[in-house]
């Protein structure tokens, strides 16, 4: 029977238990403790591990079985959503308002599972963004931010963290446009982490954890494309019209 392992902030950032040692109840809980340094987060993602915890809890690290993923070429776009995108109801950008997207996501519970983005996590992902690893896609209506998503890009995998929507379908539009741009950059997969029927309706599937780890071993090298995506996305958006 697997037991929860505790990490120290003094441990080497890459020291994690094997994801296959995660608990089955709760599903995927692998370790607790450590810190949210950029180096530790990047190494965790590349090993199929992510942090997820509530305020006043220790940092908890997860690797669920199975894993929710979205192959970029398998995204499902409904006719209604496609018409809304073509009408130009929303304007989409990338890396123009990362901190605002982060705050928007922190107001909502992730995938209905009751976990908040704590201030500590907010600082950690803002730092990853400043270093060029974390990215946001923003959805605007009449120059007001109405939705978006953010995540971490390593190699050819985008590790989706959270999304929010203040207008109907705004987060879906963010995902569709993110998907298009990620394919343009050579990405293959979005890690959705935890399954939901909402993600399933958009084309996400469940993948056995070991297969997911094998995919990461293949697509997380070379180690990403650091740097803001703002100008690249703007150019891509203009040329795609």
- CATH assignment of the domain containing 166: 3.40.630.70
Same domain, 80 and 24: no
In this predicted structure, what is the pLDDT of residue 116?
67
User: Which pLDDT value is given to residue 223?
Assistant: 64
Q: Are residues 118 and 207 in the same domain?
A: yes
**Residue among 6, 56, 54, 75 nearest 34 (CA):** 6
- The CATH number of residue 53's host domain is 3.30.70.3550
Q: Which of 188, 186, 190 is nearest to 236 (CA)?
A: 186
CB 31 within 8 A of CB 40: no
Is residue 140 within a helix (H) or strand (E), and if so which, with residue range? strand 134-141
* Cα–Cα distance, 27 to 165 (Å, whole number): 28
Residue with tokens 């669920």: 64
Per-residue pLDDT at 114: 47
Are both 16 and 76 inside the same structural domain?
A: no
- Which of 42, 62, 82 marks a domain boundary? 62
Q: Which two tokens stand for residue 26?
A: 């709760």
Q: Which of 173, 51, 181, 153 is closest to 163 using CA atoms?
A: 173
Q: Which of 21, 37, 62 is the last residue of a domain?
A: 62
Out of 16, 31, 62, a domain closes at 62
Contacts with 16 (C-beta within 8 Å, 6 or more apart), sequence order: 7, 30, 31, 43, 44, 47, 49, 61
DSSP assigned state of 112:
G
Q: Are residues 122 and 218 in the same domain?
A: yes
Residue-range definition of the domain harbouring residue 131: 67-240
* pTM summary value: 0.94
- Same domain (yes/no): 77, 101: yes
Two tokens, residue 152:
């971490």
| Same domain as 32, residue 115 | no
Residues 17 and 124 in one domain: no
The encoded tokens of residue 141 equal 């209506």
Q: Is residue 165 domain-shared with residue 228, that is, in the same domain?
A: yes
Report the number of distinct structural domains present in the chain.
Answer: 2
- Burial environment of residue 216 by CB neighbours within 10 A (0 to 12, 13 to 18, 19 or more): buried
CA distance linking residue 157 with residue 223, whole number of Å: 10
Residues 115 and 186 in one domain: yes
135 shares its domain with 51? no
Given a contact cutoff of 8 angstroms between Cβ atoms, the answer to whether 145 and 174 are in contact is no
List per-residue pLDDT tens for the chain, 241 residues long.
578 899 988 889 888 999 999 999 999 999 999 999 999 999 999 999 999 998 889 999 999 999 999 999 999 999 999 998 899 889 999 999 999 999 999 985 544 544 468 889 999 999 999 999 999 999 999 999 999 999 999 999 999 999 999 999 999 999 999 999 999 999 999 999 999 998 999 999 999 999 999 999 999 986 667 789 999 999 999 988 7
Same domain? 99 vs 151: yes
Comparing CA positions, the residue from 147, 177, 178, 139 lying closest to residue 165 is 147
């Amino acid at each position: 029977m697997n037991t929860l392992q505790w990490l120290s902030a003094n441990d080497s950032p890459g020291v994690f238990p094997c994801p296959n040692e995660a608990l089955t109840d709760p599903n995927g809980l692998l370790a607790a403790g450590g810190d949210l340094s950029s180096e530790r987060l990047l190494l965790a993602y590349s090993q199929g591990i992510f942090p997820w915890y509530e305020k006043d809890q220790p940092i908890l690290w997860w690797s669920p079985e199975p894993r929710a993923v979205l192959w970029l070429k398998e995204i499902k776009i409904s006719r209604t959503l496609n018409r809304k995108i073509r009408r130009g109801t929303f304007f989409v950008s990338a890396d123009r308002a990362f901190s605002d997207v982060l705050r928007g996501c922190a107001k909502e519970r992730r995938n209905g599972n009751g976990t908040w983005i704590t201030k500590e996590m907010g600082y950690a992902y803002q730092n990853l963004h400043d270093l060029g690893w974390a990215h946001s896609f923003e959805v605007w209506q009449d120059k007001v931010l109405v939705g978006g998503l953010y995540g971490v890009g390593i190699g050819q995998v985008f590790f989706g963290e959270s999304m929010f929507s203040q207008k109907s379908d705004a987060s879906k539009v963010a995902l569709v446009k993110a998907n298009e741009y990620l394919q343009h950059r050579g990405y293959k997969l979005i890690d959705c982490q935890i399954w939901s029927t909402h993600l399933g309706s958009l084309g996400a599937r469940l993948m056995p954890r070991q297969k997911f780890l094998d995919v990461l071993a293949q697509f997380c090298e070379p180690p990403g494309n650091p740097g803001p995506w703002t100008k690249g996305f703007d150019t891509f958006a203009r040329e795609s019209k």
